Chains A and B, each alone.
Chain A
Amino acid sequence: MAPEGTYVPRTAELIESIEENSLERTFVFELLDGQPMPYNPGQFMLVTVFGAGEAPFTLCSMPGDDARITMTVRRYPGGRVTEALHDMQPGGHVGIRGPFGNGFAMEMMRGRDVLVVAGGIGMAPQRGLIEAILNDREQFGKLTVFYGTASPEQMLYNDLMAEWLERDDIDLRMTIDRPHPDWTGHVGLITTLFADVEVDALMTSATIVGPPVMYRFVIMECENLGLNPEYIFLSLERRMSCGVGKCGHCAIKGTYVCIDGPVFSLTEYRRLDEE
């Protein structure tokens, strides 16, 4: 019988390690116990690389009915877990705990238009959300996705993006920060995409995930559009050692990002008063 405990992970095998770009890879894991893992878009897992450590990563796809889960991870030099994951060959083993956190509040989006704002690797946690909306398309209104990265090489999921660009039930708008010879699309920070968008402010929910520096400016743009702070959602990232509200690292004024978040409405985020 598999050992149980708050901190004991389930073992999974690395099935596929897909190179997205020079920084990021997408990992497909299969849980060895064969049990599917249900979760909501925006929830996260704690991934153990045996011998290296454990770190939180958000799931980046819709849950399937098999025991597979997918995560896109950026390699950070000196980050023990991300480096070990990037160096791992298919067939290697990891430990998985989760899912943790609240995920996106789908009931706050159903029946409404949705504006998804993704900066850089912020597309990874929101990919599952977009897929969930597309799978249940008639339950939602207009779906607009803003996706910005520093350069074209840093774009994730190129095939999926091409597919979304073809569809007429999703309005994907991409931008890169600075001009690049391989790029013919929009150039400018992600906030520049807001100049050319029309939204029904009362009927639109927004989700924002990206680097911490992006938040303040994107929030300003969303508020300029007249969106209700109760319907603007942000996912925070924090250092975590437990995922269950015990280690203390992710606490902000009595709120634990790991159990009360990682997704917060703008109203809650302002009360936390921390980037």
Chain B
Amino acid sequence: MIAVEQQDTQTTRAFTLPSDRIRAFIDALMSATDHFIAPTRVMHEDLVFAEVESADEVELEYENSLISPACFILPQREAVFTYAMAEGKPPEVRAAADVESHIIFGVRPCDVAAIEYLDRFFMGGEFADDVYARRREAKTIVAMACVEPQNDACWCTCSNAGPVAASGYDLQLTLMDDVYIVESGSERGDRLIDVAHELLADADPELVEERQRRVEEAFETFERRGNIGQAMRWISGDQTPEELWEELGAKCFSCGSCSLVCPVCSCFDTHEYVEDGVGARIRCWDSCHFPGYSLEASGFNPRENEAERMFHYAHHKLCADTFQKYGRPGCVGCGRCVQVCSAQIDLPMIAQTIRECGWACKDCKSCAQADVAAAPAGAEGTGED
């Protein structure tokens, strides 16, 4: 089990950057890394995270990308080791190649939370994944906080992931009218601050407080709600009716889109690829919604129908076990599943449906009063339910 620091206010140093100097700031960051990944417009004005060569290519007003920048840490396809085949001799096995340094610029807080989750999953626990760790170690995360939802699918406010990142970034930028607040969250961030110090000034603490005020006001504008806390309670207590999963399973096309765009989903499959006598063990994204996900060579499949797979998917995202091990639900509220599911079985919908299956809070507020009366000094009400 991993010790998780719950939302410790990390020691942050805050600076301001005039918004008209942002491209000079990006130039400074680019000088400090081998590769610079940033949001950029491609064909049909689609927004993607990709390597850019100049600050002009960086898009600064952007909606959430369909594919999370976490894909630079857990790519859709990568070799975990390679081997040279030789007739009559044992193959010469080589570990995965080293990775050059990358700055990922403009990562939204939901994706920052997803990367934090993946770090705990891949690098914590009994076994650490050295292929992941090597890639992760080479990445510096420059987050771009949201003050309002990027689109109507966003629901990070319900999954404790945004709209401003509390941790997990090296630098975080928040646009406040004509200045960016620039916060460092790590030693790596501090070094980047040093690189760009000529462009920065110390931030007035009132400006950071003003951001908090704006964020709280913006909560109302996040219209999509799903109450993950309640859903977590029902699914962890094994108190969801089978009919619910049968109903959702019957609607699902098992296309796997939700898990392929989900920045938290990390299941992978492995394949062998051999060309010109050089082989590679390739790992690539997989989805627990695919019928072949758990199919064995013998023909045995423990999760043959979509109802069982739907339960498995939702359980992993929402169960208390995930919360306990990785410090957050298996959803960061990025809303990508909302955008891609053609059957409209997205995670906010699943969470809401689970909640409706159980007894519901009558919202009488008497517990809130009781909690306040009983709470030790300094404790805050959860505001959930």
Chain A residues within 8 Å of B, Cβ to Cβ: 2-9, 11, 13, 32, 48, 50-55, 74, 76, 78-82, 91, 93, 95, 211-212, 237-239, 241-242, 244-254, 259, 274-275
What is the minimal beta-carbon distance from A46 to any residue of chain B, in angstroms? 10
B 287-308 binary contact with A (CB < 8 Å = 1; else 0)? 0100001111111101100000
B side interface size, CB within 8 A = 51
Given A3-B93, A7-B80, A253-B315, CB of A238 within 8 Å of CB of B126:
no
In the bound complex, do residue B90 and residue A93 qualify as a contact, i.e. CB atoms below 8 Å apart? yes
Quick one: which of B286, B294, B322 contacts A254, CB cutoff 8 A?
A: B322
In the bound complex, do residue A3 and residue B94 qualify as a contact, i.e. CB atoms below 8 Å apart? yes
CA separation between A254 and B316, bound complex, in Å? 7
What is the minimal beta-carbon distance from A253 to any residue of chain B, in angstroms? 6
Residues of B within 8 A of A239 (CB): 293-296
Listed A/B pairs (26) with beta-carbon separation below 8 Å: A2-B93, A6-B128, A6-B130, A6-B131, A7-B81, A7-B283, A8-B81, A13-B90, A50-B91, A50-B272, A54-B270, A54-B281, A78-B297, A81-B297, A93-B90, A212-B302, A241-B269, A242-B268, A242-B270, A244-B126, A247-B268, A247-B270, A247-B286, A253-B312, A259-B126, A274-B303
Would you list the 6 A-B pairs with minimal beta carbon distance, nearest first? A79-B297, A248-B267, A254-B321, A244-B127, A3-B95, A76-B297
Given A11-B93, A32-B90, A50-B279, CB of A275 within 8 Å of CB of B319:
no
Residues of B within 8 A of A246 (CB): 121-122, 127, 129, 132, 266, 268
What is the minimal beta-carbon distance from B83 to any residue of chain A, in angstroms? 6
What is the minimal beta-carbon distance from B119 to any residue of chain A, in angstroms? 13
In the bound complex, do residue A3 and residue B319 qualify as a contact, i.e. CB atoms below 8 Å apart? no
In the bound complex, do residue A212 and residue B300 qualify as a contact, i.e. CB atoms below 8 Å apart? yes
Quick one: which of A2, A4, A53, A93 contacts B271, CB cutoff 8 A?
A: A53
Query: Within residues 105 to 134 of chain B, which ones have a CB less than 8 A from any CB in chain A?
Result: 121-122, 125-132
CA separation between A237 and B283, bound complex, in Å? 21
CA separation between A8 and B295, bound complex, in Å? 24
Closest residue of A by beta carbon distance from B268 = A247
Closest residue of B by beta carbon distance from A255 = B321
In the bound complex, do residue B130 and residue A5 qualify as a contact, i.e. CB atoms below 8 Å apart? yes
Quick one: which of A5, A53, A55, A275 contacts B302, CB cutoff 8 A?
A: A275
CA separation between A7 and B281, bound complex, in Å? 9
Closest residue of B by beta carbon distance from A212 = B300
Given A51-B85, A249-B267, CB of A95 within 8 Å of CB of B272:
no
Closest residue of A by beta carbon distance from B298 = A76
CA separation between A238 and B83, bound complex, in Å? 27
CA separation between A266 and B93, bound complex, in Å? 41
Residues of B within 8 A of A245 (CB): 125-127
Residues of B within 8 A of A9 (CB): 81, 93
Summarize B's interface: helix, strand, loop or mixed: mixed
CA separation between A274 and B303, bound complex, in Å? 8
Residues of A within 8 A of B42 (CB): none
Residues of A within 8 A of B294 (CB): 238-239, 249-250
What is the minimal beta-carbon distance from B29 to any residue of chain A, in angstroms? 31
Closest residue of B by beta carbon distance from A95 = B93
In the bound complex, do residue B319 and residue A6 qualify as a contact, i.e. CB atoms below 8 Å apart? no
CA separation between A50 and B272, bound complex, in Å? 8
Residues of A within 8 A of B127 (CB): 6, 244-246, 259
Residues of A within 8 A of B316 (CB): 251, 254
Chain B residues within 8 Å of A, Cβ to Cβ: 80-81, 83, 85, 88, 90-91, 93-96, 121-122, 125-132, 266-272, 274, 279, 281, 283, 286, 288, 293-300, 302-303, 312, 315-316, 319, 321-322, 325
In the bound complex, do residue A249 and residue B81 qualify as a contact, i.e. CB atoms below 8 Å apart? no
Q: A93-B90, A241-B283, A247-B283 are in contact. List 8 more A-B contacts (CB 8 A).
A: A6-B80, A6-B128, A11-B90, A13-B90, A244-B126, A248-B266, A248-B268, A249-B293
In the bound complex, do residue B270 and residue A5 qualify as a contact, i.e. CB atoms below 8 Å apart? no
CA separation between A239 and B298, bound complex, in Å? 10
Residues of A within 8 A of B90 (CB): 11, 13, 32, 93
Residues of B within 8 A of A250 (CB): 294
CA separation between A79 and B297, bound complex, in Å? 5
Quick one: which of A4, A32, A80 contacts B95, CB cutoff 8 A?
A: A4
CA separation between A51 and B83, bound complex, in Å? 9
What is the minimal beta-carbon distance from B279 to any residue of chain A, in angstroms? 6
CA separation between A256 and B307, bound complex, in Å? 20
Residues of A within 8 A of B315 (CB): 253-254
In the bound complex, do residue B302 and residue A8 qualify as a contact, i.e. CB atoms below 8 Å apart? no
Residues of A within 8 A of B293 (CB): 239, 249
Residue of A55, A78, A212, A254 contacting most chain B CB atoms (<10 Å): A254
What is the minimal beta-carbon distance from B48 to any residue of chain A, in angstroms? 26
What is the minimal beta-carbon distance from B237 to any residue of chain A, in angstroms? 12
Quick one: which of B81, B96, B286, B299 contacts A248, CB cutoff 8 A?
A: B286
In the bound complex, do residue A237 and residue B268 qualify as a contact, i.e. CB atoms below 8 Å apart? no
